[in-house]
Structure 1
Amino acid sequence: MESSKLRVLSLTLFKHLLELVRGPSRRKMKEHVLRSLVPLLLLLHDERPNVSQVCWDTLRSALEFLRWRQLSAHVQKKELWRGCDCLVACYKERAETLICQAMAFVENPQAPIREAAIRFLGLTARQLDQQSQEKLEAICNVLKGFQQDSKSSVRCLALQTMLILKACKKHRPARASLRTLLHRMRLMHTRENPVIEVAQLRE
């Protein structure tokens, strides 16, 4: 009960702070607000109505602060997983950070929050690049551990997510970056036509 009251108070304080921030302070606050989105999206599944409701209210304030209309529209319609898709798609370069945030919730005592964290891990892990295979393997190992979870719904979701991620890893094509491809084209071109300057091949 005390932890519930504390969470509600801290989220309410954060919400009021967002509504008070003005001018240049908004730019400084933006990073903190972005980092709050994953916890808020996952805590929406809290079984305690008072916590869930304050999360909804704080999330709406956070999105209004960010002026993020697309994600805000999904939240207003309570299309949570479309909203999560939107977040992950817009911040692919932050995939590892988003995963670390979700990992903090996978052992939550509440099954709905554990399920939400697993779903979010599945969405985000698919955005990892070729250099993050170890991270993907680590996520699969975490999901494998859920086969001993007390809730059958959690066990089933973890297994499905793990199989999907392993399939993505197996069939993911190796892709060279645009910069690498251009570099190879330049080398081939200059070898065949040494009098043509590399500078003619502009990015």
Structure 2
Amino acid sequence: MAASLRPLFQHRDSNVRFLAIQFYMDVMDFTEPIEKRHVWPEVRKCLVPLFCHLDDDVEKVAEAALKTLTFAAKFLKESQLKRLLRARDKYGAAEYLAREGGRVTNVYMQQGMLYLKSEHDFARLAAVRFLGLLGRHIMDWREEKLPIICEALKDMADDPNPSIASLASQNALILETVEKRRNGTIGKHTVYAQVRRVWKRMPPWLSMWCWC
């Protein structure tokens, strides 16, 4: 039931989006305590889609997304994420999600890419922002996630919204620079350590613009 609600988050009709997001919270709320651990994987899959709606162009949908995402953080016992959301720290929340590793990274990456194809500008912009952060935090070199994210962001250079196209290009450029350095690096340095060096060399106005 809960899995079938996620596609409705991207619905053209804002009322459908609102009801789907609100109902998703109701599903979590009415889950029996003994069943919660079995539902955790499904709830975790809703985090990035809900994040992409925090700036929904319809205020009631954005508020429903924030409320449901906060409830999901509580459901998953992610106290730090819950605090960030209660403080309405969207960047901090995105950073928190991007730092998670393992199998979750694959799920988050796939969901971010799905939202790159959204018909809603706010959703594509949120996906570009999140994938940029996710790429900066990837530690696992074996699965070659970073080049996949780079290519996805480069493909957004033709986005009809100039702001989205520019932001995607800037994030792709940063991650591509890290990827080139990674390929030429000897030793086990993390991608994140490299990207921080690139980030620090950027002018302050540009590093902030890559999120704004």
Bin for the TM-score computed over the shorter chain:
0.7 to 0.9
Rounded to whole Å, the distance in 1 between the matches of 2:113 and 2:12 is 24
> Is the contact between residue 94 and residue 130 of structure 2 (CA under 8 Å) also seen in structure 1?
yes
Rounded to whole Å, the distance in 2 between the matches of 1:39 and 1:64 is 17
1:56 aligned to 57, 66, 70, which one? 66
Unaligned runs of 5+ in 2: 1-10, 190-212
> Is the contact between residue 102 and residue 121 of structure 1 (CA under 8 Å) also seen in structure 2?
yes
The alignment-based identity, stated in percent, is: 27
Aligned length: 176
Rounded to whole Å, the distance in 2 between the matches of 1:142 and 1:91 is 20
> Which residue of the partner structure matches residue 163 of structure 1?
173
TM-superposed deviation, 1:138: 3.0
> Is the contact between residue 105 and residue 114 of structure 1 (CA under 8 Å) also seen in structure 2?
yes
> Which residue of the partner structure matches residue 16 of structure 1?
26
1:39-118 correspondence to structure 2 within 5 Å: 39-118=49-128
1:129 aligns with 2:113: no
43-52 or 31-40, which moves further after superposition?
A: 43-52
Rounded to whole Å, the distance in 2 between the matches of 1:94 and 1:26 is 18
> Is the contact between residue 95 and residue 128 of structure 1 (CA under 8 Å) also seen in structure 2?
no
TM-superposed deviation, 1:32: 1.1
TM-superposed deviation, 1:128: 4.9
> Is the contact between residue 95 and residue 125 of structure 1 (CA under 8 Å) also seen in structure 2?
no
TM-superposed deviation, 1:38: 0.6
- TM-score, normalised relative to structure 2: 0.75
Unaligned runs of 5+ in 1: 178-203
Rounded to whole Å, the distance in 2 between the matches of 1:30 and 1:69 is 15
* Letter matched to residue 84 of structure 2: H
- The secondary structure found in structure 2 opposite 1:44 is coil
TM-superposed deviation, 1:125: 2.1
TM-superposed deviation, 1:24: 1.3
- TM-score, normalised relative to structure 1: 0.78
> Is the contact between residue 128 and residue 136 of structure 1 (CA under 8 Å) also seen in structure 2?
no
* Letter matched to residue 4 of structure 1: S
- The secondary structure found in structure 2 opposite 1:38 is helix
RMSD over aligned Cα, in angstroms?
2.1
Larger Rg: 1
Rounded to whole Å, the distance in 2 between the matches of 1:40 and 1:76 is 15
Runs (4 or more) in structure 1 with deviation over 4 Å come to 174-177
